[in-house]
Chain A
Amino acid sequence: MAPVAPSDRHDGLTSLLEHHLNKDLLRLTTAGSVDDGKSTLIGRLLHDSKAVYEDQLASVRSSRFNRSGGPIDFALLTDGLRAEREQGITIDVAYRYFETPLRKFIIADTPGHEQYTRNMATGASTADLAVILVDATRGLLSQTRRHGYIASLLGIPNVVAAINKMDLLEYQEDVFLNLQGEFLALARQLGIESVVCIPISALAGDNVVNRADRMPWYEGSTLLEHLETVPLRPDANDDAVRFPVQYVLRPDANFRGFAGQVAGGTIRPGSAVLALPSRQQSRVRSIVTYDGAEPEAFCPMSVTLTLEDEIDLSRGDILVSPENPPRISRNFEAMVVWFHSEPLVLGRSYLIKHNVRAARAKATNIRFRVNMQTLEQEPARELKMNDIASVEFEAANPLFFDPYTRNRATGSLILIDPLSNATVGAAMIETDLAAIAEPLTETAIGWAHWQMPVTLEDRQERHGHASALVLVQDRPRLSVYLERALFAQGFEVLHISAAAIPAGHLRSILKLSRSIGLIVVLSSESVRQQGIEWEAVAAEERFEFLFDLAKQDLPQDDGEAVAAVLSLVGPLRRSNE
């Protein structure tokens, strides 16, 4: 893009460079339904702020494709692919760069077509501001809501609603006021705080860069004025240190440095850091860069750290503040935008890339899907392309994360299909499903302990035995005796009478019991008749032992039977070494 010189002429080159280097950078994205005029608006914005080179303009002027009805189809300034020009739609996001004396801008012009929602999300994921277009002749559409929803999920702090094509409705104030009311209601529903509505005509250039004489009733800023002055919020990344290790530098035996980009907090030589997953603690010795040692490192600096101690640390690990660690869990809940024509299926294994860490994970539950017409939550069993939903995941290894709203870098991840390698979804983490209490922070060692969710392993260590499922058929009294006898022997045991459990709930109760390491005595008068393969159930629910007493040829006397069972359960006990 043609750079624009500062309007007041600087005498020295140094101040010119200074001025340029210290400009604020605003990243913006367009959004809205197909044909609402996004590309036309961006073309108009670039053109009217003199940011288009003459040869680029000439090639647009002479293009075979022009749908605008005027001499220049401004959309062609960003719709650069042949297929886009032929079809008159945007397919993939175009990045354009321009600056005014006040700010530098990176623009992502995204497609409105529903089929290309993934590309809209791509462009919007790095934006500080979204310009959502509304075609005044068509009003708010479901794609407008979808894009608004994605913008709010991505945490884009500023939204502009550009009510476009005012030229087609004689620039009537009523039209604008109605749509403004509707949009503000939508924004409230989506929890978007900072919204400004501007009536424009992208085609005619009204209120884009130049003020529109034809809308004297509008007293607010033009789009460009707003872009140049809207306060910029720093990234959500909060104060806690997060330093994901990208690359270990070992040029010789004397140097071992950890290269990465700071994703949270401020790091100084001497800062205490905790390495995850090893949970070893150390201090930063130095912050190494090509340009010399730095006194501190903060977001988004790319640096190399050396540490005081030789600890276990490699790519995919993370250094964090010991007193303010991230969540460590295999289970988390996230808002997912699904991109692929092949649906998200529960239980299927996906690759995830969380930050610089790769892992495997499967979706275990879809809590709800968002209906784009009503924005209400509805149940779903799978996710189709462009669905947005709240999903529970279980990863094969623990992840170290923060909620997306606290830290974009440690709260976001992408989902990859392990067979096709396609990027099939993006996720913003909301909560840790292990739902642990706020960590205690006296010491790092203390912390490391408190931060750990209690695992099955921990429980079994306390119980002193493995989990087991004991099936008792048609002998209700024996079940009760057994529970008491096992309890007396120091086992954590629970008697469940199948008849007392509402249909369909038994499996989840068994799952829960297993996950806390219990021995379950399941009594039923009709265990067999239900036609359930108990062996399979025990295996599936991962009980370590299964005792089907019907197969044991037990004495008829309940007392003798109890003794016989007790002689069977010895192997459940964990040895003490």
Chain B
Amino acid sequence: MTLSDEDIVNQAARRRLNQLKSLEAESIYILREAAAEFTRPVMLYSIGKDSSVMLRLAQKAFFPGKIPFPLLHIDTGYKFPEMIAFRDSYTREIGANLIVHQNREALEQGANPFVLGTQKCCGLLKTKALLDALAEGGFDAAFGGARRDEEKSRAKERIYSFRDSLGQWDPKNQRPELWNIFNSRINKGESIRVFPLSNWTELDVWLYIHTEQIPIVPLYFARERSVVLRSGSIVLIHSEDELRRGERPQLLQCRMRSLGCVPCTGAIRSQADTVPQIIEEMFSFRRSERENRVIDHDEEGSMELKKREGYF
């Protein structure tokens, strides 16, 4: 049977999900699939906008039931206080089971990005903490809110990303992944990172936050904040002892475009203090969202290197 162009148009118009709803349907499918196939899945919850969307999708996937896996937050100890406050109140509100993990040992030994460099600091406080937490919990699958449009090595990653027993990613040897059929087979000690938001763009995330009225950390909204300008980035200052020699804080109307650790995530100048304004502002962006993340720029391919070692 061949369809005429008219038939095609009619048929397509008859029942069609808009593209955000299609993305939602795909993500819910992925969440359910992994929740059904793995013994102990866990959701990495980083408190940012992508995590907030992923969390809402998980609520939808298992409604009217509860989310059938815990959330895991890797707290580097350098998160914005607003993030921690938001994390605690929001997860309580929706009745999620939250696990918080820190690499205490490294923190006690004074690990910080100024002394260690961002690569090494991330390695200890994020990657190592994550791998330890996954091992401790015996988790065989971990959901992450990473999107392929964020960064060039993420653009290469599968929805089910296989990790060996050391948590490492081998980008040259990924499993083929056709259609929406996922291979969940692993041996003991190995694991899968599952990325339900793989095909979402930054704009999709914001549109979804808007249409679904998803609560997010207030740092995303523009406000007058105390900051210093430090080697080209706008650094929020919460207390005097974050200042370096010779620095004086100033007030600036600004907001965060993406959330990481305090020392390594810069703010952007912005007037946008509602989600619709943020969306409008996006159309004027000429630079990528991770540009304000110091960690991604240490070296050509640095994100790939971190991911190979087990970073999300």
Instruction: Give chain A's interface residues, CB within 8 Å of chain B.
Output: 1-5, 13, 16-17, 20-25, 53-56, 59, 63-64, 78, 80-83, 85, 91-97, 104, 106, 118-119, 121-122, 125-126, 193, 231-234, 246-247, 249-251, 255, 257, 259-261, 266, 288-291, 298-302, 304, 315, 339, 351, 353-356, 408-409, 412-414, 416, 421-423, 426
Contacts and interface: CB of A to CB of B under 8 A. Distances in A.
B178 A82 contact: no
Contacts of B152: 56, 78, 80, 94
Given A53-B285, A339-B176, 19 more contacts: A3-B282, A55-B288, A56-B152, A64-B300, A78-B152, A80-B301, A82-B304, A92-B171, A94-B156, A106-B199, A119-B176, A231-B9, A233-B12, A249-B62, A249-B63, A257-B64, A266-B15, A288-B64, A409-B179
26 contacts: A16-B279, A21-B207, A23-B19, A24-B19, A59-B300, A63-B300, A78-B152, A80-B152, A80-B153, A80-B155, A85-B301, A93-B156, A95-B148, A97-B201, A231-B5, A232-B8, A246-B32, A247-B36, A249-B63, A249-B65, A300-B22, A300-B26, A304-B63, A315-B36, A413-B181, A421-B183
Nearest to A352: B181
Contacts of A63: 300
Contact of A233 (B3, B155, B288): B3
Contact of B176 (A81, A121, A301, A351): A121
Contacts of A1: 149, 201
Interface in B221-278: 276
B133 interface: no
B24 interface: yes
B12 A232 contact: yes
Nearest to A104: B19
A125 B182 CA distance: 13
Nearest to B12: A234
A422 B183 CA distance: 8
Nearest to B203: A3
A355 B20 CA distance: 23
A450 to B, nearest CB: 24
A367 B66 CA distance: 49
A423 B32 contact: no
B181 A414 contact: yes
B25 interface: yes
Contacts of A95: 148-149, 155-156, 198-199
B19 to A, nearest CB: 5
B59 interface: yes
A575 B136 CA distance: 59
Interface string B31-68: 01101100000000000000000000001111111100
Contacts of A85: 300-301
Contacts of B15: 266, 298-299
Contacts of B116: none
B288 A25 contact: no
Most buried by A among B28, B66, B152: B152
Contacts of B101: none
A289 B178 contact: no
Contacts of B33: 246, 356
B172 A288 contact: no
Contacts of A53: 285-288, 291
A275 to B, nearest CB: 18
A453 to B, nearest CB: 26
Interface string B139-170: 00000000011011101101000000000000
Contacts of A234: 8, 11-12
A302 B210 contact: no
A289 B60 contact: yes
A387 B15 CA distance: 38
A59 B303 CA distance: 14
Contact of B8 (A25, A231, A356): A231
Nearest to A14: B276
A426 B28 CA distance: 24
Contacts of A408: 179
Nearest to B63: A290
Contact of A412 (B3, B178, B211, B282): B178
A231 B2 CA distance: 14
A449 B279 CA distance: 57
**Which 9 residue pairs across A and B have the least CB separation, nearest first?**
A80-B152, A251-B65, A302-B28, A421-B185, A125-B178, A290-B60, A290-B63, A53-B288, A5-B283
Contact of A426 (B63, B176, B286): B176
A575 B112 CA distance: 81
Contacts of A121: 176, 178
Interface in B61-115: 61-66
B287 A55 contact: yes
B36 A422 contact: no
Most buried by B among A13, A247, A351, A412: A247
A231 B10 CA distance: 12
B177 interface: yes
Contact of A423 (B175, B202, B210): B175
A416 B185 CA distance: 9
Contacts of B59: 290
Most buried by A among B29, B156, B185, B198: B156
